[in-house]
Amino acid sequence: MKAIVVTDQAVGTAGMKLVERPEPQGVALASLSGANYGDVVVQVHASGFTGNELSWPSTWIDRLGRDRTPSIPGHELAGVVTARSYGTTGLSAWRTSLLTTTVLDV
């Protein structure tokens, strides 16, 4: 899949690159390998981000303070849920959704 990634907070939007990233694997998600309780995989049809996201700590580090780069900015998206991990509620597979969320970098 193609994704816009950022790797260096100091250079801001100048450091954004369009790159090929591996497709999220539903099997890995279901087994919680690389996913958290309640995570979903979404086939994204549209996404947006704000320039302010590049100043948010969660763009650069995870909840444990570990480096997240390369990071995929964007927290508003529209798409179809294609896989769910254990504990997911309120979203069924193949449901079209508009989500405000944190993207799981796979």
What residue ranges define each of the domains in the chain, with the CATH number in brackets?
2-100 (3.90.180.10)
pTM for the model:
0.62
What pLDDT does 63 receive? 79
Provide CB contacts within 8 A for 60, sequence distance 6+.
Answer: 9, 67, 68, 69, 71
pLDDT at residue 5 is higher than 60: yes
> pLDDT digits over 31-40, tens only?
555 566 677 7
